[in-house]
Amino acid sequence: MLVLVAPGQGAQTPGFLTPWLEIPGVRGALEAWSDAVQLDLVRYGTEGDAEEIRDTAVAQPLLVAAGLASAYMLFDDPAELPRKVGAIAGHSVGELTAAALAGVLPDEETVRLVRARGLAMAEAAAITETGMSALLGGDPEVSVAHLEKLGLTPANINGAGQIVAAGTMEQLAALNEDKPEGVRKVVPLKVAGAFHTHHMGPAVEKLAEAAKELVPGDPRLTYVSNKDGKAVATGTEVLERLVGQVANPVRWDLCMETFKELGVTALIEVCPGGTLTGLAKRALPGVKTLALKTPDDLDAARELIAEHA
């Protein structure tokens, strides 16, 4: 059984879209989505420096566009995707990529919604100076209790021994000085705010307003939600969860538990892949994994699809 996953913010790197533009159809799709959101995704994905593409309002539509474009390259006909992929999920903003690929929203509406999401989260992040740091190692229960003592939120519980803490810069500085027992290292992340915490409350309201006019379809394959790792069957509930998830923790650990229960045998991470396949290698032993980083990975990915679809 094949699972398709989409990465979240922080996966982008300068120039990561450059090789994909050599594939017929990719530039045209990116330009159409750029027009839809009034943002030059081609330029940001090829020429934007690290600071430019770190901007939440840019990074989020860029990641979703890259994920969609690369996923469609896996199949001769996009209609094959729901027939050959057993389950789909995305990490944080990657949930919107997954929703589009599952048929919940058309691509253009998805890109518009993610642009609104990025702008709203950037505005919320500007209210208070906040950030996120990854904890490497340690016992999850011990770490979560320690974070709560410092006033921090375990914003991403990623499994495979990784938790991401979020809060004010003062709280994160205190964490750096006072790590939970067993944690080897605290790594600051290149994000602009404390995503998936109460600091994003204002963004939820704006995103709900942007989503109000959308008419979602039901997922055409098993869609696994960050909220609790549960499969969600209706488009209405997917959209409600996408809005609320902005201010709630990402439970990627529970998503991977669901993949295991579904009988996953292979996992492909769409562009810019790497983060989620790394987690899967540690949490899902025996599952074949592949990260789409450049078009050079497409042949191996298609072989994996042929074996596990």
Alpha-carbon dihedral angle through residues 182, 188, 191, 197, given to the nearest 10 degrees: 40
Catalytic position from the list 34, 70, 92, 225: 92
Backbone angles phi, psi at 160, to 5 degrees: 55, 30
Amino acid of residue 287? V
92 labelled catalytic = yes
Catalytic position from the list 91, 196, 199, 308: 196
What is the pairing mode between strands 153-159 and 222-224? Answer: unpaired
Contact 109, 215 (CB under 8 A): no
Contact 243, 211 (CB under 8 A): yes
Number of Cβ within a 10 Å radius of residue 182: 14
Q: How far from each other are the two terminal CA atoms of the chain, in whole angstroms?
A: 6
146 labelled catalytic = no
Contact 63, 12 (CB under 8 A): yes
The pairs formed by 234-241 with CB atoms below 8 angstroms and a separation of 24 or more are: 235/104, 235/105, 238/99, 238/102, 238/104, 239/99, 239/104, 239/105, 239/211, 239/214, 241/95
Amino acid of residue 262? L
How many whole angstroms separate alpha carbon 53 and alpha carbon 9?
10
Q: What is the set of active-site residues?
A: 92, 196
